[in-house]
Amino acid sequence: MSSSTIQQKQEPKSSSSSVFRFVQGVAQVTGGTVLGITMLTSAVVAGGLVGLAASFRNLPDVRVLRNYVPTETSYIYDIKGRHLASLHDEANREVVKLNKVNPNLKRAVLAMEDSHFYLHNGINPNSVGRALKANWEKNTVVEGGSTLTMQLVKNLFLKQERKFSRKIAEAVLAIRVEQIFTKDQIFEMYLNQIYWGHNNYGIQTAAESYFGKSATDLTLAESAMLAGIIQSPEEYSPFVHYEKAKAQQITALIRMQELGWITPEEVEAARKQKLKLGKLTSWQKSDLPYITEAVVAELNERFGRDAVLKGGMRVQTTIDYKFQRMAEETVARAHANLQYRGIYADQVALAAVDPRTHFVKALVGGISYGKSQFNRAIQSRRQPGSSFKPFVYYAAFASGKYGPDSTVIDAPVSYRDGDGYYSPQNYGGGFSGAMSIRTALAQSSNVPAVKIGRAVGLDKVIEVCRSIGIKSPMEPVTSLPLGAVGVTPLEMAGAFSTFASNGWYSDPTVIVRVTDSNGNVLLDNTPKPRQILDPWATASLNNVLQGVITNGTGKNAQIGRPAAGKTGTTSSERDIWFVGYVPQLAAAVWVGNDDNRPMGGGATGGGYVAPIWRDFMLQALKNEPVQYFQPASKFTPPN
């Protein structure tokens, strides 16, 4: 049978013209007579094996491959598409379509693994006969003779054991697969399934790992080296044994030349090409670990751990890489300044939220992820001190019984609390008598906050906190208005961002969207804001909290534009805070020690944390226009 005769035959299952040219090349190299005998023998052997199928009724049903979805690596990106992290279990894999794989790689793999792939029906009698003879002589399995299809079914369905029965099972399953799927479908499954070393499964992750590029962009030299790796990935890895990998590359190139698929000149050029190796992509550290940690926590809660590690998700976060880096640098710099000023605090944490979307814009869980992986921005519940008071005063305004200029008496008072009595004290001691709520909040007086909290109802204060995203446990104890509760910096930033948006709330999130590897949307976090808080009460609170910064305990937070916020300092100086906002951004900063020891040195939120907040906000808002809060006069007070 001549090559011209092959051209007149019906093209194999694949419609690819490049594959059909492979067939022509095989005919030219092997010679018509040999090829004719091979194809005839293939049919005979295939028929015989189908007859043996009755003995293999327990073999898997290969039709399940129609719905087969290989485990695939999930990828996390920043809001602009920059890769941050890869999430996978044992198999690091990114599935790629066959038409996205460079033809050089396809030819190289076929040359090394199964040059008759597009001609046989699942088994190659020449290879099988040679293997049977060798195995018979040695009385054990010493040679495989496997086609690509047989390798595929072995990896997917069969145990990795060297037995004659397994080889026969491979052949039976391979024939079944060839009856159901096209050659291109089988080849695509094979390229995405096989192991390429260093936890890389599939050609896409192999190309990215070994050469830092997509499978589409592989050169002939790179393709030949990758094809040579398949037989023994760890032994022939260029990262481990470059000379062995180079020898395998040359073997692949020579084999391609023998098949007539490349010229001697192409062989020589590929052999001389200098290869620039990439870096291992499996188990790489995240570029923004605090963010990745928060993303994984949210994904696990919604989808489960297995789906995250094996589902091939594409996750777009709410974070801009440069913005997050700026926040991390701000925290590190702040910690150094605290040490210089004699404040013995071992940690600083920061969380920032966009009030317009409730998208998280920055999360810094500590001064150094390398030294401590505990993410204090989302995992550490610490007492907020007086930065909790805005929730109390909002509840008072929303009740319709109080306004910013309502009078409250700052004088000694005691309340029965459990088995004893609780007598709140002001920071620094002393009492100021009659004062407005505006003044009480600006000066951070404790007694008025406790009185107002008792008057409006502590259960109502807790209800307000729950409505704007604070989920940490709370009890209606008398000291609650002074921050007798543990909260995270992200909870505080998210809650204050609802004040900044004048009462509009969405669930804070670090994820914009999640799709699968085919682009199907799995999660869309497009903001769906709801008016949760009373507009007049919120606007009134915003006005009062601006006074904290202009002439109160938060003067060190002034940033040259309208801003609102609240300082927080707990007893014995164990936790110090500043939580503040402008209409475009809310941020919470906490400073303290992991072992909860006092910081000493007169550490207060206004003196030491407000400057950190100011430093962060000045950078964050550098290119943002000045915006103003809505005045309470635009709204009707509640009855």
- Determine which one of 113, 188, 208, 491 is catalytic: 113
Q: Which amino acid is at 296?
A: V
pLDDT of residue 30: 37
pLDDT of residue 91: 83
* Pairing relationship of beta strands 314-317 and 74-77 according to DSSP bridges: parallel
Contacts of 156 (CB under 8 A, 6+ apart): 65, 68, 193
Dmax of the chain from CA atoms? Answer: 111
Instruction: For residues 293 and 133, give the distance between their C-alpha atoms in angstroms, rounded to a whole number.
Output: 56
* 162 CB-contact burial (10 Å; exposed 0-12 / middle 13-18 / buried 19+): exposed
pLDDT of residue 161: 57
266-292 residue pLDDT tens: 999 999 999 999 988 777 788 899 999
Which architecture characterizes domain 324-634 according to CATH? 3-Layer(aba) Sandwich (3.40)
* 403 CB-contact burial (10 Å; exposed 0-12 / middle 13-18 / buried 19+): middle
Sheet of 585-592, strands arranged across: 359-364, 347-354, 585-592, 575-582, 564-569
Instruction: For residues 260 and 526, give the distance between their C-alpha atoms in angstroms, rounded to a whole number.
Output: 55
78 sits in which H/E element: none
Inter-CA distances, 362 with 187, 376, 511, 594, 627, Å? 44, 13, 12, 21, 21
Q: Which amino acid is at 250?
A: I
Decide: helix, strand or coil at residue 588.
Answer: strand
Instruction: Tell me whether residue 113 is one of the annotated catalytic residues.
Output: yes
Does the predicted TM-score (pTM) go above 0.75?
yes
pLDDT of residue 18: 36
626 sits in which H/E element: none
State which residues of the chain have pLDDT below 70: 1-58, 127-145, 158-167
pLDDT of residue 50: 52
* Pairing relationship of beta strands 585-592 and 564-569 according to DSSP bridges: unpaired
In CATH, 3-60+91-272 is 1.10.3810.10: yes
- Determine which one of 386, 387, 497, 501 is catalytic: 386
List, by residue range, all CATH 3.40.710.10 domains of the chain: 324-634
Instruction: For residues 483 and 598, give the distance between their C-alpha atoms in angstroms, rounded to a whole number.
Output: 17
List, by residue range, all CATH 1.10.3810.10 domains of the chain: 3-60+91-272
pLDDT of residue 519: 94
